[in-house]
């Protein structure tokens, strides 16, 4: 069994001990750091399979750590820990390149499920080339559901997991108007407590990426309702 190495960046001692203990019990190797500067340095000095990053940190915030990591080319998956009702934090974290998030207070089981899901997706990306690839072609765009990859004009378009899942759901329902609620339920799950703004942010980002040098596939906004994928022949 592979031992995944996870960095926990959390300045609240009780929570960091709880996270470390439960991750270790699940068979992960956990390292805890309580401030942003040290966390950033640790990520530059060594390799982790996943980072659990609190947004509220002394000195350098979790957002600053995440932004600097992504600008320096560190692609390690990041799950951010945000405050209750912190939708603005969630949106900002996703824009900066977070892979997922958990809102405080949270159950340990929920966090461990998120950790497992993110690591499983990353492993799926790494293993994807070994088997016959599942692929959807739309004009100049190729979509690989098993690898969470989108290729436009032979160039890989970088996408966050939820952006890809939104695109895939729209692709599976071409020409149909999909409501924001339906997208939220299908992509984020029925128990998601965030608002529809999260959906809009993902679609807006997705739209910008899709409009790079192609006009075959568009995502239309249906005012007050949701979105529709339009494929021009």
Angle subtended by helix axes 197-210 and 87-96, to nearest 10: 20
Most confident of 23-27, 81-85, 109-113: 23-27
CB-CB contact of 138 with 217 (8 Å): yes
Write out 200-229 in H/E/C secondary structure.
HHHHHHHHHHHCCCCCCEEEEEECCCEEEE
Model confidence pTM above 0.75? no
Structural tokens at position 26: 């699940």
Closest C-alpha among 57, 109, 45, 46 to residue 81: 57
- Tracing tokens 């966390």 back to the chain, one arrives at 39
Instruction: Indicate whether 85 pLDDT > 80.
Output: no
What pLDDT score does 163 carry? 86
For the segment 96-105, the average pLDDT, to the nearest whole number, is: 85
CB-CB contact of 10 with 23 (8 Å): no
Mean pLDDT, the chain, integer: 84
Structural tokens at position 143: 């979509």
Phi-psi region of 189 (alpha: psi -120 to 50; beta: other; left: phi over 0): left
Report how far residue 195's alpha carbon sits from residue 94's, in angstroms, rounded to the nearest whole number.
14
Instruction: Indicate whether 123 pLDDT > 50.
Output: yes
Q: pLDDT tens, 150-206?
A: 888 778 887 878 888 899 899 888 888 999 888 888 887 766 666 678 888 889 888
What pLDDT score does 124 carry? 61
Q: pLDDT tens, 48-80?
A: 999 999 999 988 999 999 999 988 888 899 999
Instruction: Indicate whether 149 pLDDT > 50.
Output: yes
């Amino acid at each position: 069994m592979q031992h995944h190495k996870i960095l926990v960046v959390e300045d609240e001692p009780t929570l960091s001990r709880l996270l470390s203990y439960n991750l270790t019990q699940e068979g992960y190797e956990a390292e805890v750091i309580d401030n942003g500067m040290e966390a950033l340095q640790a990520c530059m000095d060594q390799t982790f399979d996943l980072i659990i990053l609190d947004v509220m940190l002394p000195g350098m915030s979790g957002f600053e750590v995440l932004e600097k990591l992504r600008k320096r080319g560190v692609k390690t998956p990041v799950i951010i820990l945000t405050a209750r009702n912190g939708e603005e934090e969630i949106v900002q974290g996703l824009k900066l390149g977070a892979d997922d998030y958990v809102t405080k207070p949270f159950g340990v089981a929920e966090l461990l499920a998120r950790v497992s899901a993110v690591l499983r997706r990353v492993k799926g990306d790494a293993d994807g080339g070994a088997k016959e690839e599942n692929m959807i072609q739309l004009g100049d765009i190729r979509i690989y559901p098993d690898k969470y990859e989108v290729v436009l004009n032979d160039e890989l378009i970088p996408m966050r997991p939820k952006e890809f899942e939104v695109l895939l759901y729209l692709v599976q329902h071409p020409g149909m108007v999909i409501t924001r609620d339906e997208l939220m339920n299908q992509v984020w799950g029925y128990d998601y407590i965030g608002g529809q703004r999260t959906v809009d942010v993902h679609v807006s980002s997705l739209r910008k990426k899709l409009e790079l040098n192609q006009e075959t596939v568009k995502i239309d906004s249906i005012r007050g309702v949701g979105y529709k994928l339009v494929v021009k022949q």
